[in-house]
Structure 1
Amino acid sequence: MRQIGRWTGLALAIGLAAGLASALFLVSLAWVTTLQTNNWWLLLCLPLFGGLVAWLYQRFGQSVAAGNNLIIEQLHSPDLLGVPLRMAPLVLLGTVLTHLGGGSAGREGTAVQMGASLAARIGRWWRLPQAEVRLVLMMGMSAGFGSVFGTPIAGTIFALEVLAFGVLRYEALLPCLAAALVGDGVVRWLNIAHSHYQVASVPELGSIWAWLIGAGICFGLVSRAFVSWIELVQSRSRRWLPNPIRRAMLGGCVIVIISLVLNTRDYNGLSLPLLAQAFEPQGVVPWAFGFKLLLTGLTLGVGFKGGEVTPLFVIGATLGSALAQLFGLPSDLLAALGLIAVFAGAANTPIACVLMGIELFGSSLLVPLMITTCIAYTVSGHRGIYAAQRVGWAKRQHLAHQTGKRLDELEVD
């Protein structure tokens, strides 16, 4: 009973802390997004904001600059001291500045990093033994992910699945679920709304299964393209501009120029209006996913802060909308499937993503979600947005020799 009481208290504390942090982040993000939308000149300040973010991390945050990869590495080699509390305020400020200037980034990375760093601090206060550090960090990740998207079940499984794809850590199932439910409950109690998108109807499976297979392949290929583009921008920009401040500032200038040439703000920030449009019958322009992918890779690749998941949602939904026009299927159906499947292919977390799809769109979409998500996960190969993620179980037999390695240690498959 003492053990149950201790872990219940930990789940409540971590869920409360992560939920409050996510609430603060969501409110801040909504505020700066409104500012950015109503004041076009803030886009011109993006290079300055990028330089400021790079300076902050160079001066105060070199130990936490790896972000989500630091947390995943700590899950493999647990150490509460390895996830400093400073990660939370730095990633919060860095992400807010990125969005204030119109950088194309998301929110998952920020919420997960805040949740994990706060959980690590609570674990130090609790004086937990080293063997229980992994559980605490996973609880923080679950609470952060579940509370920022309003999907506590997906948040629970995400923390279990992201460590090494093909492997689930079931010992953390109940603690992560409790923390995620508390975190999500805190955000809901504070009346902070999440975006909702509806799928009007799902056609009979027998009439669309071939199109679903084709869509799943496309989603997986775009997941690979997203990861490859970010890796290319990171490697080339670091080689050409070793100074992180200059790199972020010059990268910001490139993003500003592209945005002005495109003559639209649809691809800056979270791009939630573009995401909503993908669910409308008229859909979006067929090339929308490509421009969002381009700007997101530039934003994150040169050192701005924020998550990859919301941009992946937008890329997947707009790609799905474009495919719907090609296949003659409902735009909202393929937008929903793309939103989930492209994320699954890039994050290598198919089970969490299918559950997220059910939480967001309902169980009527289960079979189409499973088809497109599993295909995208397989097609994306041993690539992913989390370089510290391990190959727990190879996706294809001829890649079995890569089992146990980090993704950034692998040759391109």
Structure 2
Amino acid sequence: MKDKLFPSAHFQILKSLLRWTIIIIPIAIAIGSMVALFLGLLNLAIHFRFKHTWLLYLLPVAGVGIHFIYKLVGKTSEKGNNLIIDEIHQPGGGVPKRMAPIVLLTTIITHLFGGSAGREGTAVQIGGSIAQAFGIWFKLNEIDTRIVLTAGIAAGFGAVFGTPLTGAIFAVEVLIIGRIQYSALLPCLIAAIIADVTVAAWGIHHTQYHIAVFTAVPHWFSQYTTFDFVLLFKIIVASVAFGLASYLFAFLVHGLKSFFVKNIPKQWLIPILGGLIIIGLTAIIGKPDYLSLGIDAEHAGAVTIPSAFNTADADTWSWLWKTIYTTVTLSTGFKGGEVTPLFYIGATLGNTLSVLMDAPVSLFAALGFIAVFAGATNTPIACTFMGIELFGGQYALFFAVACFTAYFFSGHSGIYGSQRIGISKTGQDGVEETLSEVTKARQTYTRQKLEKYRFRKG
């Protein structure tokens, strides 16, 4: 009898699922534990600087220290998230085990002395480094190693923000613009859930955000429909601004890095200049609101991500100042990540736009929170789910509209240089081919550097 109730393919699928579950669980627990350690140390470092504000004046010295840490022992680890993405696309030199402890240390140093950076980059690099190590220990083949590395990204991202579903989707969406790698989706989901549970088991808690209740439909057409098309129009207009803010951030972080490398002959001078710029800006502005993560308030009335959800609590140009602070910090060699600053930029920009457009403040702060991130990373689906996980599902349609609008208006830019183009946003083959050639050239250059490093080491 040819037709069976349960064909042999079902048993093969079950066998594969069990295998990946067994492989992923220890990896995710290790990543979650390392992320918990990182978050605990990061919180201590940030609050220690709050009590010792003079540490900011040592930021240039800290930058030089970070530079020499990577120069002496970091080697290829300095590529950060892009190294992991490159390794998934085309395996080469591997993700070194040293990446995890080095990026953890240098991120703590960055925040301890007031650098404006995030934490997602550190968590993702911790995930990729640990996943690579387990892949070697388990003697996985090339295809399985790629899946494990992708799951490592999911575990790190999901654990650091407390958003496991977002972490899983982000890991498979961020690799190639316009395409999702479904083969790794289940391992990524398992990894993100286990890592998030592990972080919670270590007693680490995440910041909670809330969208205040507002009147959804204007009374003058509520008798015809329960949907607020005026609010939807305002969201679309705001989301165009969110996408342009994403583009500005990506443009500055890459452009400033190229400018400093090209015009400053001694690389160790770059972090000194970056630190001096941050100190100078803080002195000019007269407040430390744009240093570090921007979640906890250093003083009463400080502009933070949570404060942006309150009525008119964000200054009009807070989003621009944070953009400048973070792009200068990251482009001059300090470590951390981009995502939490992007949350800050989006939330404060949303706050400003809500006042200008007479829209719900907390809703627009939430939309900016996820939409600027969506545009900068080219991951609108993951960011839509992030909105649902963080703020609730009742505004899912608005989240999707904001994220996809920002995604398109951010252009083909992005904070991850190794991200490939699967399908052009415009649908024009010429654009896709041009960007593909740039990616190929970058990968060729990276492989040449890795081969040169292995030759010297051998």
Tell whether 2:86 aligns with 1:56: no
Deviation at 1:74, TM superposition (A): 0.6
Q: Which residue of 1 aligns with 2:436?
A: 405
Question: After alignment, is 204-213 or 331-340 more displaced?
Answer: 204-213
Match 1:305 to one of 335, 341, 348: 335
Match 1:359 to one of 389, 393, 398: 389
Alignment of 1:134-145 (within 5 A): 134-145=146-157
Deviation at 1:242, TM superposition (A): 3.6
Whether contact under 8 Å (1:389, 1:407) holds in the other structure is: no
CA-to-partner distance for each residue in 1:11-61, whole Å, 9 max, x for gaps? 111110110011011001100000111111000010011000000001111
Whether contact under 8 Å (1:313, 1:339) holds in the other structure is: yes
Deviation at 1:330, TM superposition (A): 1.7
Alignment of 1:242-253 (within 5 A): 242-253=265-276
Whether contact under 8 Å (2:420, 2:439) holds in the other structure is: no
Which amino acid counterpart does residue 92 of structure 1 have in structure 2?
A: L
Tell whether 2:253 aligns with 1:241: no
Deviation at 1:304, TM superposition (A): 0.4
Deviation at 1:390, TM superposition (A): 0.5
Which amino acid counterpart does residue 111 of structure 1 have in structure 2?
A: A
Partners of 2:345 and 2:142 in 1: CA distance: 40
CA-to-partner distance for each residue in 1:188-246, whole Å, 9 max, x for gaps? 11221101110012524323011011101000011000011111210111012243321
RMSD after superposition: 1.5
Whether contact under 8 Å (1:18, 1:143) holds in the other structure is: yes
Deviation at 1:406, TM superposition (A): 7.0
Whether contact under 8 Å (1:22, 1:111) holds in the other structure is: yes
Q: Which residue of 2 aligns with 1:116?
A: 128
Q: Which residue of 1 aligns with 2:409?
A: 379
Partners of 1:101 and 1:249 in 2: CA distance: 13
Q: Which residue of 2 aligns with 1:329?
A: 359
Q: Which residue of 2 aligns with 1:295?
A: 325
CA-to-partner distance for each residue in 1:346-393, whole Å, 9 max, x for gaps? 000110110011000000111111111111000111000000001111
The number of equivalent residue pairs is 409
Whether contact under 8 Å (2:319, 2:345) holds in the other structure is: yes
Which amino acid counterpart does residue 64 of structure 2 have in structure 1?
A: G
Partners of 2:173 and 2:264 in 1: CA distance: 35
Alignment of 1:20-35 (within 5 A): 20-35=33-48
**Structure-1-length-normalised TM-score:** 0.96
Partners of 1:91 and 1:215 in 2: CA distance: 35
Question: After alignment, is 10-19 or 112-121 more displaced?
Answer: 10-19
Tell whether 2:54 aligns with 1:41: yes
Deviation at 1:6, TM superposition (A): 3.0
Deviation at 1:405, TM superposition (A): 1.6
Tell whether 2:120 aligns with 1:90: no
Match 2:202 to one of 190, 213, 217: 190
SS for the counterpart of 2:348 is helix
Alignment of 1:204-219 (within 5 A): 204=217, 205-219=228-242
Alignment of 1:10-29 (within 5 A): 10-29=23-42
Q: Which residue of 2 aligns with 1:160?
A: 172
Which amino acid counterpart does residue 37 of structure 1 have in structure 2?
A: F
Deviation at 1:282, TM superposition (A): 2.7
**Structure-2-length-normalised TM-score:** 0.87
Partners of 1:356 and 1:78 in 2: CA distance: 30
Whether contact under 8 Å (1:244, 1:303) holds in the other structure is: no
Match 1:265 to one of 256, 281, 288: 288
Whether contact under 8 Å (1:388, 1:406) holds in the other structure is: no
Whether contact under 8 Å (1:347, 1:386) holds in the other structure is: yes
Whether contact under 8 Å (1:224, 1:383) holds in the other structure is: yes
SS for the counterpart of 1:31 is helix
Question: After alignment, is 257-266 or 2-11 more displaced?
Answer: 2-11
Q: Which runs of 5+ in 2 are unaligned?
A: 1-13, 218-227, 298-303, 442-458
Query: Which stretches of structure 1, 4 residues or longer, exceed 2 Å deviation after superposition?
Result: 1-6, 201-207, 397-401, 406-410
CA-to-partner distance for each residue in 1:276-311, whole Å, 9 max, x for gaps? 110012331111001000000000011100110000
Tell whether 2:177 aligns with 1:147: no
CA-to-partner distance for each residue in 1:51-83, whole Å, 9 max, x for gaps? 00000001111211110011110111135x510
Tell whether 2:246 aligns with 1:223: yes
Whether contact under 8 Å (2:312, 2:352) holds in the other structure is: no
Percentage of identical aligned residues: 43
